[in-house]
Amino acid sequence: MKKVFESEWVSRLIDGLLPVFATLAALLVGAVMLLFLKVNPIEAYKALWVGAFGTSNAFAETLVKATPLLLVGLGICISFRGDVINIGGEGQMIIGAIVATWVGLTFTTLPGWLVITLAMLAGFAGGAVWGGIPGVLKAYFRVNEILSTVMMNAIAVQLMNFLLRGPMIDPAQAELASKIPQTARLLEIFRLPRLIPTRLHLGALIAVILAVLVYILLWRTTLGYRIRAVGQNPHASRYAGIKVPRYIVLALLLSGAFSGLAGATQVFGVNYRMITDGSASGFTGSAGFNGIVAALFGQLHPIWSIPASILFGALLVGANSMQRVVQVPSALVIALNGLVVVFVVSSEIWRQKRQRRRLSVARQDGDSPPPADEQPVPHTEAGT
Amino acid sequence: MKKFAWLLTLVLALSLVLSACGAGATPTPAPVEKFRVAVVMPSAINDLAFSQSMYDALVRVQKDMGGPDKFEIVYSENMFVVDDAAAAIRDYATKGYDLVIAHGSQYGSSLQEIAPDFPDTSFAWGTTVDTFGLPNVFAYEAASQEGGYVNGVLAAALTNTDVIGVIGPIETGDAKLYVDGFKAGVLSAKPGAQVNVNYIGSFSDTALAAEAATTHIAAGADILTGTAQMVVGAIGKAEEANVLWFGTQSNQSSLAPKIVVASQVYHWEVVLKQMIDLIQGGTLGGQSFTANLANGGEVIEVNPDSNVFDYAKPLAEDTVKGIIDGSIKITLP
Amino acid sequence: MISDLFSVTVLVGILASGIRLATPYLYAAIGETFSQRSGVLNLGVEGQMLLGAFAAFYVTLTTGNLWLGLMTAMLVGALMGLAMAYVTVNLQAQQGISGIGFYLFGLGMSDLLFQKLMGTVETVKGFPKIHIPGLSDIPGIGEIFFSQNILVYGAYLLVPIAWFVLNKTTLGLKIRSVGENPDAADSLGVNVGRIRYFTIILGGILSGVAGASLSIALLNVFQQNMTSGQGFIAVALVYFGAWRPTGVLGGALLFSLINALQLWVQVLNIPVPSEIAVMMPYVLTILVLVTSVSKVRAPSALSKPFEREN
């Protein structure tokens, strides 16, 4: 029996489940808060579960929520492994969405599948530009990416507001006195197909396929190898002849591109138009930040990011459902979200300790050491 | 990867089991009389502005209809994420609420999709006039330019420096209507007056709104107005500088009783009651309503604690009457 | 008209506003400077500010004592800092992410407490503008420099104090060494963990004060999410300021003065779309950094958890 528990397989499974245990611990603290609010925690958490997984519709909602998380997360996998911190996901999503929407509203005479493809590429490109700018600023002008991406986020919001109430406003709205800042609706044929009767759209499948592609990119191509090399040791990489600045730019550019695509899929799969309430999160749902969390829950691995995004998406969707059922203030949901993030990220240490123990045990037993792709720790590069 | 597929299957299986348990517990059927309303709002119910105006109105309706036993209100606030709001609207509709109110112009798209799936549920969308031609969607809006106009006339009468400041969030929708109406009101009474308008670019940056107020005051304004929840910062600065304030959406006198002259308060219950009557009579939508001065959906509440009350009240009443009977025409840019 | 901008009233207005607007950024960014100098990135500043703002406001509202409110804000900030320190030093969690978690927690918690304990927006009598007889009455200069409230002055006083501590004291030396080369510092007997605990808690205290400066000094009101992203700007400003208190001061002032300027641009009806005006501080901050020639080096150990090599 002991052999079973000591077996590598079970051990790694427990590692993978650590975030789940941490989440449960956070929810336990949340239960205390619920009690203070005179809400039955069991009733509340049952609502959370049902809201995320209870019906096929709920599960579809979870997947819809997870899609932008996964896409942003894929970009984060790339950037963090290139040792750049990209917290500009919000702005990149917005810009990608704007460009994609523009394509969808302008090329109305082309066939549906062509427009969708062009729009997705446009979203990818838009986000790439918005991520590439901080990349260039960091690589060639030594402007730290945390600063530039925070600023670019704010700039993107203002740009969105300006465009949506001005040049890109729905002609129908421009007539009305209410002038809602939104674009016209995308034609039926331009929308991403859905798995009726749910809201699950093709974007989810696109995201999963891309996850596999990103995995291939990072570990099976020279480009990916170089990004990771620059991320782990820029000095050694430079001596090895890798043009470091170029790969810094690429890391941020690709990362931004995926966030841009996330924005495009939100427009083409969920909202069918671009609309703003003046803030970034009104459109993005904070996917630009939550995607970072999801990627980290997935150990910055594109494939693990898939279940990580689903579980995190489930938490978000379920918590909103819980809010409705037991009528707690949405503020509690946000605080709970924060607790989960802190707890899960804190549980990392146990995963690392266990991994190290396994390594040393393996060495003692004379087994070959497991693949040493330790999770990289992103840090601001010395010299920026 | 296999382990995670395994894990996911486990999770899914568990969820099916639990949901089966959950489905077993049917809620006790509500008494047939109870009218159940759900509302989805983009900001906090105590924001002293947009969302609060709707929540307060619902509470008033509840009182008039006999209390929580006869009129149930549930809400989801801070739904500024359009997608989450859509999920909320759909969820409430699934739960069989009689009326689901989408109190935010950004929710329109979502409503357009959801409403057809729930033909027995009545939906209401504000603030706009578009019902999408759907039989179960009501639309409502406030003619905020009317109250803005009245405030503007009052401001013009009360200003000594002939410079008036306006602080807005984003240059669209309800905010723009109010600001345009206000400006028109000022200029109709005092064509030479200077109305300085400033949009700070956010609904929540209280500090920037406050500093905008200070800037207006330094530019010579002795009267200020503004719309959306971040103006609470501006009101504070106005009070410090003894500058008069005109409010909108909710009654803001409580924040600064000395200097708030009047507020345009949205009394959505006027609109809500009409909708409820229609719903109980079998009509679930297809009409749009405007809350304005004529039907009492907008009320200019002059602050009795302000020291210009005696002057402001009759002037306000006259202006309101003029708008209602049509003798005053509001022309917007 | 653009020419309107070049008047004394406007200049005075911009400077006075800029100095006020910079206050919360200064407190929060100086606090973050200490953390980052010791190698810790704290993205949860915004959450600490919000909880501090609420604590200060609520205590002032119920007790009528401003100083008690301020101290409560500092205590709340310290507690959040303590939690962050434990998570960062002992649990060695990913710093950027744990920060976001604390941000969300602070955002939600402050709003929740606000709804349950207060329920509606109210005002308090905050720290008043200090009137220095003689100095405050000087036209122009008096308004800019001598008619602010005490928390504003505190923020600016913090800059030379922080500079002194970081550069002229043993403590500062320890902090810097921990941030540059924690292994070396450790081998020389510096308790890396304790230093980081200190800087993170200090950062929390200062973020709490930053929040208090908003709720009981500058705005005299509390509202959900009233900081609206200022905490993140503060963190960005640390990078702008090259981890030096003087640089942070420069960044905070640059950002705030341009913000004050764009307010005037709109108020004076200069025909610029409102969104472009609002963008100005952000765009200019990047541009200034791009054009500045200085070689900037981050603390080498920034964001890396420290583990003693056994």
**Angle, CA A56 vertex, CA A50 and CA A57 arms, to 5°:** 80
Whether B211 and C230 have beta carbons less than 8 Å apart is answered as: no
Using a CB–CB cutoff of 8 Å, tell me whether A94 touches chain C.
no
The verdict on a CB contact (< 8 Å) between A158 and C106 is no
C-alpha distance from B97 to closest chain A C-alpha (Å):
12
Query: B256 contacts in C (CB within 8 Å)?
Result: 123
C-alpha distance from B211 to closest chain C C-alpha (Å):
7
Instruction: Classify domain B144-265+298-324 at the CATH class level.
Output: alpha beta
Element (H, E) at B38: strand B35-40
More reliable by pLDDT, C302 or A68: A68
Query: C17 contacts in B (CB within 8 Å)?
Result: 211, 214-215
Query: Which among B84, B197, C225, C272 has a CA at the least distance from the CA of A320?
Result: B84
The verdict on a CB contact (< 8 Å) between C303 and A333 is no
Whether A288 and A97 have beta carbons less than 8 Å apart is answered as: no
Q: Which A-chain residues 198-257 have CB contacts (< 8 A) with chain C? A: none
Query: A59 contacts in B (CB within 8 Å)?
Result: 12, 15
Most confident of A90-94, B3-7, C294-298: A90-94
A-C C-beta contacts closer than 8 Å: 159
Task: Give the residues across from B165 on adjacent strands.
Answer: B196, B224
The verdict on a CB contact (< 8 Å) between B130 and A324 is no
**Alpha carbon B36 to chain centroid distance?**
20
Peptide bond into A101 cis (omega under 30): no
The verdict on a CB contact (< 8 Å) between A289 and C232 is no
The verdict on a CB contact (< 8 Å) between A87 and C111 is no
More reliable by pLDDT, B5 or C226: C226
Type of residue at A19: P
Query: Which among B25, B92, B47 has a CA at the least distance from the CA of B251?
Result: B47
Q: Average pLDDT for residues B252-267, to the nearest whole number?
A: 89
User: Which residue, among B211, B223, B231, would best test binding to C if mutated, counting the most C CBs under 10 Å from its CB?
Assistant: B211
Cα C190 to Cα C201: distance, rounded to the nearest angstrom: 18
Whether A95 and A156 have beta carbons less than 8 Å apart is answered as: yes
DSSP assignment letter at B287: -
> Can you tell me which residue has the tokens 């304790």?
C194
Whether A298 and A309 have beta carbons less than 8 Å apart is answered as: yes
- Coil vs helix vs strand at B184: helix
- Coil vs helix vs strand at A384: coil
Chains touching B by CB (3 or more pairs below 8 Å): A, C
Q: In chain C, what's the furthest Cα-to-Cα distance?
A: 69
Cα A173 to Cα B128: distance, rounded to the nearest angstrom: 10
Using a CB–CB cutoff of 8 Å, tell me whether B172 touches chain C.
no
Type of residue at A29: V
User: For the segment C157-211, what is each residue's pLDDT rounded down to a tens digit?
Assistant: 999 999 999 999 999 999 999 999 888 888 988 899 999 999 999 999 999 999 9
Cα–Cα distances in Å, from B25 out to B11, B21, B22, B264?
A: 22, 7, 6, 46
The verdict on a CB contact (< 8 Å) between B19 and A53 is yes
Q: In chain B, what's the furthest Cα-to-Cα distance?
A: 78
Whether C111 and C246 have beta carbons less than 8 Å apart is answered as: no
Using a CB–CB cutoff of 8 Å, tell me whether A23 touches chain B.
no
Beta strands in B173-308 (DSSP E): 194-199, 223-226, 244-249, 260-266, 288-291, 298-302
Using a CB–CB cutoff of 8 Å, tell me whether B172 touches chain A.
yes
Return the residue of A nearest to C303 by Cα: A379
Strands B71-76 and B223-226: unpaired
Using a CB–CB cutoff of 8 Å, tell me whether B288 touches chain A.
no
Using a CB–CB cutoff of 8 Å, tell me whether B200 touches chain C.
yes
User: For the segment C236-262, what is each residue's pLDDT rounded down to a tens digit?
Assistant: 999 999 899 999 999 999 999 999 999
Query: C236 contacts in A (CB within 8 Å)?
Result: 146-147, 150-151
Tell me, letter by letter, the H, E, C secondary structure of B18-52: HHHHHHHCCCCCCCCCCEEEEEECCCCCCCCCHHH
Whether A65 and A237 have beta carbons less than 8 Å apart is answered as: no
- Tell me which residue in A61, A158, A282 faces B81 most closely, judged by beta carbons: A282
The verdict on a CB contact (< 8 Å) between A178 and B7 is no
A40-327 carries CATH number 1.10.3470? yes
Peptide bond into A307 cis (omega under 30): no
Same fold, B35-143+268-291 and B144-265+298-324: yes
Using a CB–CB cutoff of 8 Å, tell me whether A340 touches chain C.
yes
Whether B233 and B207 have beta carbons less than 8 Å apart is answered as: yes
C-alpha distance from A162 to closest chain C C-alpha (Å):
6
What's phi and psi for B142, nearest 5 deg?
A: -110, 135
Cα C17 to Cα B210: distance, rounded to the nearest angstrom: 10
Is the dihedral angle over the CA atoms B280, B285, B287, B292 positive or is it negative? positive
Chains touching C by CB (3 or more pairs below 8 Å): A, B
Phi-psi category of residue B245: left, alpha or beta, with phi > 0 → left and psi -120 to 50 → alpha: beta
The verdict on a CB contact (< 8 Å) between A182 and B108 is yes
The verdict on a CB contact (< 8 Å) between A271 and B174 is no
- Tell me which residue in C103, C278, C286 faces A158 most closely, judged by beta carbons: C278
Cα–Cα distances in Å, from A349 out to A134, A253, C298, C310?
A: 31, 31, 25, 17
**Alpha carbon C77 to chain centroid distance?**
12
Type of residue at B56: D
Which residues on chain C place their C-beta less than 8 Å from a C-beta of chain B? 9-10, 12-13, 16-17, 20-21, 24, 111, 115, 119-123, 214, 218-221, 223-230, 259-260, 263-264, 266-269, 274-275, 277-278
Whether C235 and C32 have beta carbons less than 8 Å apart is answered as: yes
Predicted local confidence at residue A365, as pLDDT: 65
Count helices and strands in chain A by DSSP H and E runs: 17, 0
Task: Say which CATH topology domain B35-143+268-291 has.
Answer: Rossmann fold (3.40.50)
C-alpha distance from A146 to closest chain C C-alpha (Å):
6
C-alpha distance from C263 to closest chain A C-alpha (Å):
15
Using a CB–CB cutoff of 8 Å, tell me whether A106 touches chain B.
no
Return the residue of B nearest to A286 by Cα: B81
Cα–Cα distances in Å, from B179 out to A180, B148, B166, B172, B186?
A: 15, 7, 7, 10, 11
Helix A330-346 vs helix A287-297: crossing angle, to nearest 10: 30
Half-sphere exposure of A359 (CA within 13 A, CB side): 11
Whether A54 and A195 have beta carbons less than 8 Å apart is answered as: no
Q: Average pLDDT for residues C215-230, to the nearest whole number?
A: 89
Rounded-to-5 percentages of helix, strand, coil across chain B: 45, 20, 35
**Alpha carbon B102 to chain centroid distance?**
11
Lowest mean pLDDT across A90-99, B121-130, B162-171, C131-140 = C131-140
Using a CB–CB cutoff of 8 Å, tell me whether A297 touches chain B.
no
- Residue C117 tokens read as 């304990």
Cα A113 to Cα A192: distance, rounded to the nearest angstrom: 9
Query: A337 contacts in B (CB within 8 Å)?
Result: none
DSSP assignment letter at A270: I
Q: How many CB atoms lie within 10 A of CB C263?
A: 30
- Residue B133 tokens read as 């031609």
Using pLDDT thresholds of 50, 70 and 90, give the confidence band for residue B100.
very high
Using a CB–CB cutoff of 8 Å, tell me whether A8 touches chain B.
no
Predicted local confidence at residue C298, as pLDDT: 75
CA dihedral A304, A309, A310, A314 (to 10 degrees): 140
> Can you tell me which residue has the tokens 């036993």?
B69
Q: Is the pLDDT of residue C292 over 80?
A: no
Q: What would you report as the CA-atom Rg of chain A, rounded to the nearest whole angstrom? A: 22
Q: Is the pLDDT of residue B25 over 50?
A: no
Using a CB–CB cutoff of 8 Å, tell me whether B199 touches chain A.
no
Cα–Cα distances in Å, from B69 out to B33, B35, C30, C225?
A: 9, 9, 55, 34
Domain boundaries, chain C: 23-230
User: Which residue, among C95, C102, C103, C282, would best test binding to A if mutated, counting the most A CBs under 10 Å from its CB?
Assistant: C282
Spans of chain A below 50 pLDDT: 369-384
Cα C249 to Cα C25: distance, rounded to the nearest angstrom: 9
Query: C297 contacts in A (CB within 8 Å)?
Result: 382-383
Query: Which among A344, A98, A376, A117 has a CA at the least distance from the CA of A251?
Result: A376
Cα C203 to Cα C46: distance, rounded to the nearest angstrom: 12
C-alpha distance from A366 to closest chain C C-alpha (Å):
22
**Angle, CA A55 vertex, CA A49 and CA A59 arms, to 5°:** 75
**Angle, CA C106 vertex, CA C104 and CA C110 arms, to 5°:** 125
Cα C235 to Cα C47: distance, rounded to the nearest angstrom: 12
Q: Which alpha helices (DSSP H) does A7-88 contain, by range?
A: 8-36, 41-49, 56-81
Using pLDDT thresholds of 50, 70 and 90, give the confidence band for residue B202.
confident
- Tell me which residue in B109, B170, B202 faces A271 most closely, judged by beta carbons: B109
Domain boundaries, chain B: 35-143+268-291, 144-265+298-324
**Angle, CA B102 vertex, CA B98 and CA B108 arms, to 5°:** 125
Is the dihedral angle over the CA atoms C233, C238, C240, C245 positive or is it negative? positive
Cα A217 to Cα A210: distance, rounded to the nearest angstrom: 10
- Tell me which residue in C47, C107, C236 faces A147 most closely, judged by beta carbons: C236
Chains touching A by CB (3 or more pairs below 8 Å): B, C
Rounded-to-5 percentages of helix, strand, coil across chain C: 70, 0, 25
| High-pLDDT (> 70) share of chain C, % | 97
Using pLDDT thresholds of 50, 70 and 90, give the confidence band for residue B253.
confident
C-alpha distance from C267 to closest chain B C-alpha (Å):
5
Using pLDDT thresholds of 50, 70 and 90, give the confidence band for residue B21.
very low
- Residue C209 tokens read as 């004060």
Using a CB–CB cutoff of 8 Å, tell me whether A38 touches chain C.
no
User: For the segment C7-63, what is each residue's pLDDT rounded down to a tens digit?
Assistant: 888 888 899 999 999 999 999 999 999 999 999 999 999 999 999 999 999 999 999
- Residue A190 tokens read as 């331009």
Average pLDDT, chain B: 85
Using pLDDT thresholds of 50, 70 and 90, give the confidence band for residue C279.
very high
Whether A287 and A93 have beta carbons less than 8 Å apart is answered as: yes
Type of residue at A304: W
Predicted local confidence at residue B4, as pLDDT: 46
Cα–Cα distances in Å, from C108 out to A324, A332, B75, C46, C48?
A: 17, 6, 18, 11, 11
User: Which residue, among C23, C60, C111, C220, would best test binding to B if mutated, counting the most B CBs under 10 Å from its CB?
Assistant: C220
